[in-house]
Amino acid sequence: MVFAQVERTPRGPLAWPATATPRLTGAIPPTAQVLLGIVSVQIGAALAKHLFATAGATGVVALRLVFAAAVLLLIWRPSLRVDRRTLTVVVGYGVVLAAMNTLFYLALDRIPLGIAVTVEFLGPLTLALAGSRRWLDALWALLAGAGVVLLARGGEGDVSVVGLLLALGAGLCWAGYILLGAALGRASADGTGLALAMGVAGLVVLPIGALDAGAGLLSPTVLLVGLGVALMSSVIPYSLELEALRKIPPRVFGVLMSLEPAVAAIAGLVVLREALAPYQWVAICCVVAASAGATRYARSPDA
């Protein structure tokens, strides 16, 4: 199932050496590790949104990707000598990663966190259900569609259409990220390809982010909070998730991951004071139920 096979976004990938994570997280039950990772990601997104007024949405994206790239490159120390096929995959992966993060943060600048994450989740969900002819998968698709209709409904309190489209674009990039991630996994045996791809993503976004943020990007406070965003959005959750995946089945991991839109909505309410209308909570629950159901009842690969 796609949710269990791919590391999450919008935070971007992070892979630690296999011997490092267990020493730090081995005492935490695996289900708690996944849930803590989800909470960390959404708090990181909320912190990022606090920086938008000072550094701009793309400036914050640049900070996060550059800091994450620095950590990865320091850990893996990849060689820059790669063959043309690997280079193509690395560059493509990095560009999609940059686009996904940029679109998501631009959406987050216009719509509440819970809604942005919910709409973005439609990308991998669509990829997971594409080509299926089972009636059960059609039910999950209809449930997710009902959630979208509720989120996009008119009337008082209606969310930004531009924000919804940006979040949907981030979701489409997420689907491309999943497909390219499989190719990257075949092209590099460890985290070296990932480190190079993150470096590409940082280089793509940095000029745009620097123009958007201006001098605000170099503020000590912005840099410190940007580092915190990178840690909470990438380092902490991926350390927890990599260890959890060693102990629980991927399908269980995928079902837990389906809680992310709901956790995002709660983080938006608590940290950002983003209150949602009752119908918007219903919409989020529809997408959560659809993604959890599609993961839980996915057809096995050999079926």
pLDDT of 96-120, one tens digit each?
999 999 999 999 999 999 999 999 9
In three-state secondary structure terms, 133 is: coil
User: What is the arithmetic mean of pLDDT over 75-83?
Assistant: 84
The reply to whether 163 falls in a domain is: yes
The reply to whether 96 falls in a domain is: yes
> If residue 56 lies in a helix (H) or strand (E), which one and from where to where?
none
pLDDT of 273-298, one tens digit each?
999 989 999 999 999 999 999 888 87
Read out DSSP for 189-256? Answer: SSSHHHHHHHHHHHHHHHHHHHHHHGGGGG-HHHHHHHHHHHIIIIIHHHHHHHHHTTTS-HHHHHHH
Rounded to whole angstroms, the Cα distance separating 265 from 63 reads 24
The reply to whether 142 falls in a domain is: yes
pLDDT score, position 83: 85
User: What is the arithmetic mean of pLDDT over 198-214?
Assistant: 92
Question: In the structure, what pLDDT confidence band is assigned to residue 151 with cuts at 50, 70 and 90?
Answer: confident
Cα 198–Cα 246–Cα 48 angle in degrees, nearest 5: 40
- Give the closest residue to 7 by CA, choosing from 253, 280, 275: 253
Burial class (CB in 10 A: 0-12, 13-18, 19+), 250: middle
pLDDT score, position 47: 93
The one-character DSSP state at 13 is -
| Residue 236 predicted with pLDDT over 60 | yes
Backbone angles phi, psi at 162, to 5 degrees: -60, -40
Say which range, 89-93, 239-243, 260-264, has the weakest mean pLDDT: 239-243
In three-state secondary structure terms, 120 is: helix
pLDDT of 2-42, one tens digit each?
444 443 433 444 444 544 444 555 577 888 988 999 999 99
The reply to whether 20 falls in a domain is: no
Rounded to whole angstroms, the Cα distance separating 108 from 203 reads 22
pLDDT score, position 5: 41
pLDDT score, position 122: 92
The reply to whether 12 falls in a domain is: no
pLDDT score, position 16: 45
* Average pLDDT of the chain, as a whole number: 84
The reply to whether 244 falls in a domain is: yes
pLDDT score, position 254: 83
User: What is the arithmetic mean of pLDDT over 79-89?
Assistant: 87
Say which range, 6-20, 150-164, 194-208, 242-256, has the weakest mean pLDDT: 6-20
pLDDT score, position 9: 39
User: What is the arithmetic mean of pLDDT over 123-133?
Assistant: 83
Better pLDDT: 25 or 194: 194
- The Cα-based distances of 81 to 84, 196, 229 in angstroms read 10, 11, 31
In total, how many domains does the chain have? 1
pLDDT score, position 243: 77
The reply to whether 125 falls in a domain is: yes
User: What is the arithmetic mean of pLDDT over 66-94?
Assistant: 88
pLDDT score, position 118: 95
| Residue 193 predicted with pLDDT over 90 | no
> If residue 21 lies in a helix (H) or strand (E), which one and from where to where?
helix 21-25
Rounded to whole angstroms, the Cα distance separating 205 from 197 reads 13
pLDDT score, position 189: 64
The reply to whether 13 falls in a domain is: no
pLDDT score, position 206: 95
User: What is the arithmetic mean of pLDDT over 229-253?
Assistant: 81
| Residue 241 predicted with pLDDT over 50 | yes
Query: 174-189: b or e for each residue (b if 16 or more CB lie within 10 Å)?
Result: bbbbbebbebbeebbe
Q: Give the domain extent around 118.
A: 28-296
